Every structure is written in C-alpha cells, then in structure tokens.
Structure 1
Amino acid sequence: MKQISILTTVDLPMAYQIEKRSHTFPWSEHIFTTIQGKLYFNIKLHIQKEMLGFAITHIVLDEATLFNLAVDPFYQRQGCGSFLMKYLIDYLRGLKVKNLWLEVRISNLNAIRLYAKFGFNEVLIKKEYYPKNSGNEDALIMVLPLLL
C-alpha cells in the first residue's frame, strides 16, 4: 500500500537517484543537502522501504512553493504524482497556507496537466529560465489558491 511520510536526511541518497532518473537536468546532490530545516515540508511516497517519489516544499508564513516533485520513471503514470499533490495540498490547507506556487518547464506537459487537474492557474512565463540541450527554455509560473 502506498504511504506518505517525511523525507529525512537518511532518504536523500534515494531521492537523489529518483531525481537523476526523472529529470533531464536534475538538481545537484549538494542542493538536496540544503533543502532541510524548519521552513521545508519534504515528503516521500513509498511502498514499505521502496521510495516511489518525493515532494520538496518551502513554506514561509502563509505562502508555500513546491520546489520539486519527482516520481521514479518506473512508477510514473500510476497516480503517484496525484497522490503526492493531494497529500501536500491537504496538509498546506491545514496550516492555513493561502497559496501554493510552483514553476515548471513549459515543455513538461504531463506535469502541467497534473497541476491543472488540481486547479493551479497559470500566472506568467519566465523566459529562457531552464537549461536544455541547446539553449534555454521558458518556465511557467503557476499558483493554487488554497483557502477558498
């Protein structure tokens, strides 16, 4: 059965492996060591000891930013991303967070569809924000109002 629990420092090597498998331009291993602390809510999706994916969220006062959501390619298109998003949104609503922000590669249509399914709105485009094999690509900034 799929479960969600806190992503701890012990989990970071496994999360980093998922990051490398699921992103063409993954975060560095060093970045994973800097995303811990009281301003972060980091969760993992797992079945027993096998990690399927994770979400990294930064919370400041009544605003949150989803920095990273990754699902191991073996488990993609099986509802894992939705499972993580629903849990995260419910948790943030419980904290009375007003908005959940994120940015996503304009070419990442699967992620954009996932976020739209949860009610995220497109806010703006950051031109040439993300690296790609040749040049850069735009980032789409999206927001989900959490307190209705």
Structure 2
Amino acid sequence: MITQITEHDLERLFEIEQSAHLVPWSMGILKNTQGDRYLNLKLIDQEQIVAFVICQYILDEATLLNIAVDPLFQGKGFGKQLLTQLIQQLTEKGISTLWLEVRESNIVAQTLYAQLGFNEVDRRKNYYPTPDGQRENAIVMARYL
C-alpha cells in the first residue's frame, strides 16, 4: 500500500534512511522536507513502512530529493512501485518534468531510473559526500511527464 507520509512516520523513515544510504540525511533534513510543496510517499508491506520517497515541486517541475528502501526489503520492486506512483501523482498535478541526481557509483538506481524513462542530462562533479570524506560525482537525470 502506498500513501502520503505523515509526521508520525518520521522515526521509521529515519531508521530506513540511516540503514539505506552511504551518507544519510539527518532527522532535521527529513523534518524540513515536509509541507505544501512536497509530495512524499511511503510504501507499507506487512504492516510496516519499508520504503519512502521525498519529492519537491515548484510550478510545473519536480525534484526527487530522496528515495530509500529498507535494505531488508530491497530487490522486491518496492522502489519501482513508489516511483511509478509518484510519477502518476505528479502527472495528475500537472507537473511536466521530474528531475533527480544519483551517485555515479549507484548503478542499481541508475538502471531503475532508465527503466522508468529517465535520461541522463548532466553530471555534477564532486556533488555527493562519501563516508571517507571524499566526494563523488552525481548524474543528473530527467523524465518528461
């Protein structure tokens, strides 16, 4: 089941965030990405949140800021389900383009995005921090809705 994120979900989202990302967001960032200009969805399986997506939209453009799937539930198609639902809801809102950045090393995510119609548009040098204090390039991708 996919529904809107509520304030009561933030603790569980934070747990997923900490386990799913190399350099996870803080609780403060999670709290600051809620509100009127966000379309944030959670996926519930077996009565628990197992994945979420954070998306901000302004006028007719949206940016996928974060997507995370609990590592215990990865590889089951939950990320694809979430993104498909996000794209559908953004289209219904009249959004024309969905943008995202992805780590250059994250081939699994890049493959998923390509399957869903995203194309590489640019690269950002040294965009993402790494756990060892270095930086990693980002691939900028877009999908026209």
Query: Aligned-residue CA RMSD in angstroms?
Result: 0.9
Q: How does 1:49-88 map to 2 (within 5 A)?
A: 49-88=47-86
1:140: which partner in 2?
139
1:36: which partner in 2?
34
Distance in 2 between residues matched to 1:121 and 1:35, nearest whole Å: 25
Give 3-state SS (helix, strand or coil) of 1:143's partner. strand
Task: Give the TM-score normalised by structure 1.
Answer: 0.95
Aligned length: 144
Which 4+ residue blocks in structure 1 deviate beyond 2 angstroms?
none
Q: Structure 2, unaligned stretches of length 5 or more?
A: none
1:48, CA displacement in angstroms?
A: 5.1
Give 3-state SS (helix, strand or coil) of 2:25's partner. coil
Q: Structure 1, unaligned stretches of length 5 or more?
A: none
- What's the % identity of the aligned pairs? 44
1:118, CA displacement in angstroms?
A: 0.4
Distance in 2 between residues matched to 1:82 and 1:36, nearest whole Å: 22
1:134, CA displacement in angstroms?
A: 4.7
Q: Which moved more, 1:43-52 or 1:12-21?
A: 43-52
1:49, CA displacement in angstroms?
A: 3.1
Q: How does 1:1-148 map to 2 (within 5 A)?
A: 3-47=1-45, 49-132=47-130, 133-146=132-145
Distance in 2 between residues matched to 1:32 and 1:93, nearest whole Å: 24
Cα displacement string for residues 33-79 of structure 1 (whole angstroms, at most 9, x for unaligned residues): 10111000111000253011000000111100000000000110100
Distance in 1 between residues matched to 2:65 and 2:74, nearest whole Å: 19
